[in-house]
Amino acid sequence: MIKLFRNNRRKFLSENKFSKYLAYAIGEIFLVVVGILIAIWINSKNQEKINEKKAEVILMEIQKDLKKDIESSTAVVNTFINYDSIARLLLWDKLTTNEMFGISNKMKPYEIVYKMLTFKISDNGYVNYNRNLNNIPTKYNSITNKLKYLYDTRGVELNVANERVRSIVFENIDKVNTFDWSVQTIKTGFPEEGKHYYAKNLEFKKQLITYMNGIGNIFLTTEIYKLEAITLHNEISKILNTDDYISYPPSFNSSLNASNGKHILGKYKLKETVSEIFPSTIELREVENKLQFFREGLPEFRYYWNGQTTFLNMIDQQGLVLTYIRFNKSKNSEFFVSGGKSAYAYYTKVSD
């Protein structure tokens, strides 16, 4: 082809047909330019395919991180519920001396104020996504802002909550180490002065409240993050055109088997409370696969399953209500309902 072009140019020049030569040369240049443009276009399309494939791999990596976070958030929430329940018992002097200081206890109840409760998210996929942001195809623009919001806004909120709890715990440790009886504990065992501090001292009650506020923030930020992580995970599946979807929240039917699930439903009477907001009798119902705390004249409270014995209140992103129902591990005829530091109650089931 090149030899043909060269021979034609020589022919036109030898025949002094300059105008034909010029037209031919322009045509030849045009063909070369078109060829170059076609080559660039093909290369661009190939690069787009490469970028798209890489973006898909990164998005799947992000989904893997989100699944890990969703799973680990359950452990964080379960630990919060355990610590929060213990803190309420301490706050309202509901533990016996043996329960507080018995040698058989693996962890003394008062020691919760020295326990960390934090939630660290997995963001390797997101870091990788940002590193390749300039090469991410425009078709993924809709997900970019949502990723940024989850990791750069909700992630920062989690870090703040984590640092707050760390600060509270370190302050509590530093404070207890200033007491003479704390040194005596290391040398000769737990003195009566130390027992009185944890059982009756107002300063320890203040520490409890501060600690409860701190882990309460962990609970809220973790639940909000989990909700948005599930939503984002499912949106990525939609973009990638896969069937990898996570349901939220878990249904009541998915939490317990049919017999146990039905067993906890029914009427309950108030056993103990420190607040007037709880009615003397209530009924637990199943409504749209959620557990409903029901009483005529009360607002509707529905809970979703968080574990074999625990139901959490649906998180409203506007109101951020923090409540939970926790059943006695040994039987489903008694439960503890939490509605804040000064609002909790115990209920026992009314015999059928």
Report the SS3 class of residue 91. Answer: helix
Q: Considering its fold, how many domains does the chain have in total? A: 2
Q: Which of 87, 143, 154 is nearest to 117 (CA)?
A: 87
Which token pair is 66? 């989100």
Contact 219, 78 (CB under 8 A): no
Average of per-residue pLDDT across 110-126: 94
Verify that 336 and 224 share a domain, yes or no.
no
pLDDT for 110 beyond 80: yes
Give a yes or no: residue 10 inside a domain: no
Confidence of residue 206 (pLDDT cuts 50, 70, 90): very high
Count of residues in the chain: 352
Verify that 231 and 262 share a domain, yes or no.
no
Confidence of residue 10 (pLDDT cuts 50, 70, 90): low
Q: What pLDDT sits at residue 43?
A: 60
* Position with higher pLDDT, 316 vs 232: 232
Long-range contact set of residues 183-192: C-beta below 8 Å, sequence gap at least 24: 190/101
Q: Which domain holds residue 106?
A: 49-240
Verify that 66 and 191 share a domain, yes or no.
yes
Give a yes or no: residue 30 inside a domain: no
Verify that 182 and 323 share a domain, yes or no.
no
Verify that 90 and 173 share a domain, yes or no.
yes
Count CA atoms closer than 13 A to 310's CA, side-chain side.
15
Which of 190-194, 226-230, 248-252, 300-304 shows the lowest per-residue confidence on average (mean pLDDT)?
248-252
CA distance 268 to 192: 40
* Position with higher pLDDT, 198 vs 321: 198
Contact 147, 62 (CB under 8 A): yes
Give a yes or no: residue 262 inside a domain: yes
Q: What is the pLDDT of residues 268-285, one digit of tens each?
A: 999 888 778 888 999 998
Which one of 210, 240, 270 terminates a domain? 240
* Position with higher pLDDT, 322 vs 352: 322
Q: What is the pLDDT of residues 306-351, one digit of tens each?
A: 777 788 875 555 555 567 888 876 666 888 888 766 678 889 998 7
CA distance 190 to 198: 11
Which token pair is 182? 């704390």
> How many Å from the N-terminal Cα to the C-terminal Cα in the chain?
97
Which of 166-175, 206-215, 216-225 shows the lowest per-residue confidence on average (mean pLDDT)?
216-225
CA distance 95 to 91: 10
SS3 content of the chain, % helix, strand, coil (to 5): 60, 10, 30
Contact 279, 343 (CB under 8 A): no
Verify that 101 and 155 share a domain, yes or no.
yes
